[in-house]
Structure 1
Amino acid sequence: MIRSFPAPKFDAAPAQGGAGEFGALPDWDLSDLYTAPDAPEFLHDMAWLEAACASFAKDYEGQLADLDAAGMADCIARHEAIETVAGRIMSYAGLRYYQNTTDAERAKFMSDAGDKITSFTTPLVFFSLEFNRIDDARYEAVFADPLVARFKPVFDRMRAMKPYQLSDELEKFLHDQSVVGASAWNRLFDETTAALQFTVQGETLNLEATTTLMSDHDRGKREAAARELARVFGQNVKLFARVHNTLAKEKEVEDRWRKMPTPQLGRHLSNHVEPEVVEALRNAVVAAYPRLSHRYYALKAKWLGLEKLQVWDRNAPLPSETPRKILWDEAKATVLGAYGAFSPRMAEIAQPFFDKGWIDAGVKPGKAPGAFAHPTVTTVHPYVMLNYLGKPRDVMTLAHELGHGVHQVLAAKQGPMLSDTPLTLAETASVFGEMLTFRALLDAAKTPAERKQLLAGKVEDMINTVVRQIAFYDFECKLHAARAQGELTPEDINALWMSVQAESLGPVFEFMPGYETFWTYIPHFVHSPFYVYAYAFGDGLVNALYATYAAGLPDFQTKYFEMLEAGGSKHHKDLLAPFGLDASDPAFWDKGLSMIAGLIDELEAMEA
């Protein structure tokens, strides 16, 4: 149950630029974790962890089934202490690394720390295995005691893996082998994508800079960027195909040994969500493609004066949109203002991120792409990473990641075991933060043109979050199913990618030669298989939540904060019940999708 450092995720596609033109951009102050790689506190914690793991195994291996509630409480407290120190070490190593993934010293430091912690924690593998062998009646009796009752949800989730558990020896082998398995391939992917270089109109750029040009006002520049992305991805497609083949095969082997019926089940179990709920979400979104993405992109083609859209037009700004760069202080004021209008408490929780070095915002050589919020450990605080370039979408990314940060701060009171929120619910606060910011900007719009621009931007973000991510999910499902039948060539994977693109984007699109390789740079497929449906889950959930807020549900703010404070201590049914919502109801997803359709309705009405 020891948590590793989560890989960053693309919540946005920022670009490269100088920090000075956006004002003073904040950098991380990691001293709340450790002051330096060789700090006495770091060395002390590493030594303590080795001894604590060995002591824990000596005291509890073979004894869990005999513990009474008091003994179980002591056992849990010691396990949480170990988890906290291990998490602190790996958070520090990981955050340093993602500040500059091309720095060999940082990469070595993170790798060495991970190797040591893997070695130290190998004796702890028994914990979940032996725990799952406790007799059901004994388990229920012990966890009925108030001393440990609050921990039952996390152990219920752990026991859901009971049917898929391997022998103790095999589980220990998989634990030890992980550092040269998936994590090694993850690092290869990260370092490869960070080092890619692209030449667009004579300028050499990194991946983030080039993908950001896909939303430039100059159509010629967008096309040049798209074609250069295709060229470089094509040059590297064999390496990326090897990464995907290896990881998918590794997963298939482990799933087969565990007797997992589907490749997706492990993710569903970790998300504490029923497969039928995910299937209902997926089916609702696919059925809605014509009234969402197909309809919106046909409207966009009309705005752009085009019969067909190319891939470089998908995120193009509207012709009426005036380019402007948003300074950091304005972005900060916008998001904090929106948060504060919802609840002063929300703005108060977010404020220290700006004041205390909890955000790293500037684009720097070697820095990891995209944006993420990492909770570190419950005794410290989260850290947010951005690549800020002053675009309106960057403001929404700030709102998104701060939402994660607020959620993580509130959930920390649950402690190490219960603070982690399943991915399906982890996106709730982030997407809600975006929605608050969007609504604040929409209310402040001074002209119809400004309102249209905001609506179009939000619809595109929602389509990227819902339609695009479900298409990604379908691609992954097809990829893993095909890999189970044999090795996949780059052309095989390209074909799977293209099979979901036309269906999701609609008939108005044409696809340039080379677009078939654009699966190569998506990190979710590598770091977190089947993660992507969590975005669509979160967006649909937030749309339904926001509708109840807008309808004036009494005490909404109180209920909302209670939901975030619950962390991973409750099932999604219990969390949503105070709002009168139920994600297991197929009609639930149509409510969220209808909100997107309603925004498109308003855009169409503007054309009448």
Structure 2
Amino acid sequence: MRITPPAPVFDANASGGGDLGKLPDWDLSDLYSAPDAPEIARDLDWLATECAAFASDYEGKLADLDAAGWLTCIDRYEAIDRISGRLMSYAGLRYYQNTVDAERAKFLSDCQDKITTFTTPLVFFTLEINRIDDARLDAVFAENADLARYKPVFDRLRAMRPYQLSDELEKFLHDQSVVGASAWNKLFDETIAGLEFEVNGEPFGIEGTLNFLTDPDRENREAAARELARVFGGNIKTFARVHNTLAKEKEIEDRWRKMPTPQTGRHLANHVEPEVVQALRDAVVAAYPKLSHRYYALKAKWMGLDTLQVWDRNAPLPIEEPKTVDWDTAKATVMEAYADFSPKMAEIAEPFFTKGWIDAGVKPGKAPGAFAHPTVTDVHPYVMLNYLGKPRDVMTLAHELGHGVHQVLAAPQGELLASTPLTLAETASVFGEMLTFRKLLAAAETPAQKKTLLAGKVEDMINTVVRQIAFYDFECKLHEARRGGELTPENINDIWMSVQGESLGPVFEFMDGYETFWAYIPHFVHSPFYVYAYAFGDGLVNALYAVYEESGTDFQDKYFEMLKAGGSKHHKDLLAPFGLDASDPAFWDKGLSMISGMIDELEAMED
């Protein structure tokens, strides 16, 4: 059941400034017209009644259902999921628009509390399914094709069987969830949104301050980096408390469930084998020297520097002309790239711009970064941006719109099958970025423009692959260290720095205070071990795009079929039509070779 607010997929790249034109705001009325709308009270009342009725009708009886009985049961369960999802999506999206608004925070918490109480009687559902004999379930699936399509849902549930607790303990964990991780998530969000920074005598929130790290003026970048370090340092005990508590809570639950590693739960949720993730991680780490180390050494040369500081990592190139991309231009760029691939893709994306499905502006209290949230299958997704007008913001729009297209296409699968595992959730978003980049590159008129675009894409890919795998290693080390006891802020700082030099390379120097920059990364708080999904998605898309360039016109049809599948198929089955296999260790080298090839092009431009 949806008892937590939307888990946003935050893209932490910040950028922009200038006259951007009219930026769109969300129209959440497709969910509910207002927090006091009578439909909210109606739906809460319905949930309370239907959850109790569902438990009364099915608890202790699942093993005896025939195929028709199962279809009715699943239909009712999906209806409950749909209504609870609608309520929590509305409450969560309102909250992310202004996380420091006490009324919005209260409304979200109240909805969460009520839905948790209503859905507690449903905890039996998963537990009871996992006690049914395999032969009995297989026989029921064989009876009815409509029921058989739900087998992937049951397979994922039953993968949790070895880690299932008693009914009583599972109900306890469900009940206390509102004062567990979700409460610490809100504390983190509110703390981040409330931080105040001062750069060159002007006040900024975190988005505006992070934006300076892409400023052409090196003094501005340095001033912002040092101010970020000052403010993070002043709040570091709070951030350390959040991480200590969440990591310990996870360790306790994992121990009770007898999960072998802190990452096991994420791998199960992603429906991906641990050895596939390990192969990805090892391939990326082995490629650090030919990717990030080589690129940043090249960038230092372009900037006339012997060493790079952390505030140079995302700096524009000296040859790059400062550019502000207004909203209408950003929209046209992405929509044309989508339409060139397929008019159908642009058609699906159009309502995001015309019907209030995007909230783009930077506002006080608004959550930082960007995300796409699918809400529920009978409404539509919403995209959140913090659009500030840099070229990177255009790529973020292409990225999040890709998520939105994917979510629209998968919605007909229904609540239980539409949701895509995180490893595949980044496919359409990264592919949308690649389409937009390739269109811009093809339109480049000068060698300098081509070099700037290539360098920007390489940096984005390094941020998506190298940086996210370094983040994954940081999380692995953090959770392992927490098992040995409470971590001081200095302990966490040391873990952070242990992966930074390794991933970024010897050309970097690290200022005092950079050791605290783990503090603002939302993924570590909202979705432990999420980050490898970015690298998975980028490697997958690089390989997929290579197939696209070599394919005929049937590629688009196969691509849309893959997105329509949502979570109904395993990654092996989804990639097989393209001749790809993510379980093959060599698969990841193919994706990484695309990044390396772009660096080769950049090096050749030096000759």
Q: Counterpart in 1 of 2:149?
A: 150
- How far the C-alpha of 1:2 sits from its partner, in A, is 3.9
8 A Cα contact 1:12 1:394, kept in partner: no
Q: Counterpart in 2 of 1:367?
A: 366
- How far the C-alpha of 1:41 sits from its partner, in A, is 1.2
SS at 1:405 equivalent: helix
Distance in 1 between residues matched to 2:8 and 2:16, nearest whole Å: 18
Q: Counterpart in 2 of 1:137?
A: 135
Q: Counterpart in 2 of 1:606?
A: 605
Distance in 1 between residues matched to 2:409 and 2:73, nearest whole Å: 25
SS at 2:24 equivalent: coil
8 A Cα contact 2:17 2:390, kept in partner: no
Deviations 1:367-397 (A, max 9, x none): 1100000000000000000011110000000
Any runs of at least 4 consecutive aligned residues in structure 1 with deviations exceeding 2 A, and if so which? Answer: 1-10, 12-18
Deviations 1:543-597 (A, max 9, x none): 0000000112551000000000000000000000000000000000000000000
Point out where structure 1 has 5 or more consecutive residues left out of the alignment.
none
- How far the C-alpha of 1:502 sits from its partner, in A, is 0.4
8 A Cα contact 1:325 1:391, kept in partner: yes
Matches within 5 A, 1:138-287: 138-144=136-142, 145-287=144-286
Identity of aligned residues (%): 79
The verdict on how the C-alpha distance between 1:17 and 1:121 changes in structure 2, with shifts beyond 3 A counting, is farther
Distance in 2 between residues matched to 1:585 and 1:331, nearest whole Å: 37
The amino acid that maps onto 1:431 is V
Matches within 5 A, 1:426-441: 426-441=425-440
Q: Counterpart in 2 of 1:126?
A: 124
Distance in 2 between residues matched to 1:348 and 1:75, nearest whole Å: 35
Q: Counterpart in 2 of 1:302?
A: 301
The amino acid that maps onto 1:528 is S
Q: Counterpart in 1 of 2:10?
A: 10
SS at 1:520 equivalent: helix
Distance in 2 between residues matched to 1:429 and 1:393, nearest whole Å: 18
Deviations 1:480-534 (A, max 9, x none): 0000011101110000000000000000000001100000000100110000000
The amino acid that maps onto 2:262 is P
Distance in 2 between residues matched to 1:554 and 1:587, nearest whole Å: 27
- 1:316 equivalent to 2:336? Answer no
Q: Counterpart in 2 of 1:550?
A: 549
8 A Cα contact 1:62 1:130, kept in partner: yes
Q: Counterpart in 2 of 1:525?
A: 524
Deviations 1:240-292 (A, max 9, x none): 11110000000000000000000000000000000000000000000000000
- How far the C-alpha of 1:3 sits from its partner, in A, is 6.0
Please, what is the CA RMSD of the aligned residues?
Answer: 0.9
Distance in 2 between residues matched to 1:297 and 1:523, nearest whole Å: 25
SS at 1:567 equivalent: coil
Q: Counterpart in 1 of 2:97?
A: 99
8 A Cα contact 1:3 1:83, kept in partner: no
8 A Cα contact 2:425 2:537, kept in partner: yes
Distance in 2 between residues matched to 1:220 and 1:205, nearest whole Å: 17
Higher deviation after alignment, 547-556 or 36-45: 547-556
- How far the C-alpha of 1:147 sits from its partner, in A, is 3.1
8 A Cα contact 1:13 1:369, kept in partner: no
The amino acid that maps onto 2:416 is M
- How far the C-alpha of 1:17 sits from its partner, in A, is 5.8
Q: Counterpart in 2 of 1:82?
A: 80
Distance in 1 between residues matched to 2:530 and 2:28, nearest whole Å: 28
Distance in 1 between residues matched to 2:162 and 2:153, nearest whole Å: 17
Distance in 1 between residues matched to 2:531 and 2:48, nearest whole Å: 35
The amino acid that maps onto 2:137 is Y
SS at 1:384 equivalent: strand
SS at 1:22 equivalent: coil
- How far the C-alpha of 1:38 sits from its partner, in A, is 1.0
Deviations 1:10-40 (A, max 9, x none): 314335867xx21111111111000011111
Distance in 2 between residues matched to 1:530 and 1:175, nearest whole Å: 21
SS at 1:473 equivalent: helix
Distance in 1 between residues matched to 2:298 and 2:117, nearest whole Å: 57
TM-score (norm 1): 0.99
Q: Counterpart in 1 of 2:35?
A: 37
Q: How many residues align?
A: 606
Deviations 1:160-202 (A, max 9, x none): 0000000000000000000001000000000000000111110
Distance in 1 between residues matched to 2:96 and 2:170, nearest whole Å: 29
SS at 1:45 equivalent: helix
Deviations 1:85-130 (A, max 9, x none): 0000000001111111111000100010000000000000000001
- How far the C-alpha of 1:212 sits from its partner, in A, is 1.0
8 A Cα contact 1:15 1:363, kept in partner: no
Q: Counterpart in 1 of 2:504?
A: 505
8 A Cα contact 2:163 2:259, kept in partner: yes
SS at 1:148 equivalent: helix
Q: Counterpart in 1 of 2:591?
A: 592
Distance in 1 between residues matched to 2:74 and 2:17, nearest whole Å: 47
Q: Counterpart in 1 of 2:394?
A: 395
The amino acid that maps onto 2:527 is S
Q: Counterpart in 2 of 1:380?
A: 379
Q: Counterpart in 2 of 1:112?
A: 110
- How far the C-alpha of 1:9 sits from its partner, in A, is 3.4
Distance in 2 between residues matched to 1:376 and 1:523, nearest whole Å: 20
The amino acid that maps onto 2:95 is Y
Distance in 1 between residues matched to 2:600 and 2:334, nearest whole Å: 27
8 A Cα contact 1:16 1:364, kept in partner: no
The verdict on how the C-alpha distance between 1:458 and 1:158 changes in structure 2, with shifts beyond 3 A counting, is same
8 A Cα contact 1:260 1:266, kept in partner: yes
Q: Counterpart in 1 of 2:349?
A: 350
SS at 1:319 equivalent: coil
- How far the C-alpha of 1:143 sits from its partner, in A, is 1.6
Q: Counterpart in 1 of 2:564?
A: 565
Q: Counterpart in 1 of 2:411?
A: 412
The amino acid that maps onto 1:482 is A
Q: Counterpart in 1 of 2:20?
A: 22
TM-score (norm 2): 0.99
SS at 1:199 equivalent: strand
Q: Counterpart in 2 of 1:476?
A: 475
8 A Cα contact 2:474 2:499, kept in partner: yes
Distance in 2 between residues matched to 1:2 and 1:226, nearest whole Å: 38
Distance in 1 between residues matched to 2:15 and 2:566, nearest whole Å: 33
Distance in 1 between residues matched to 2:324 and 2:43, nearest whole Å: 44
Q: Counterpart in 2 of 1:66?
A: 64
Distance in 1 between residues matched to 2:295 and 2:16, nearest whole Å: 29
The amino acid that maps onto 1:136 is D
Q: Counterpart in 1 of 2:451?
A: 452
Distance in 2 between residues matched to 1:564 and 1:447, nearest whole Å: 36
- How far the C-alpha of 1:6 sits from its partner, in A, is 2.7
Distance in 2 between residues matched to 1:154 and 1:168, nearest whole Å: 20
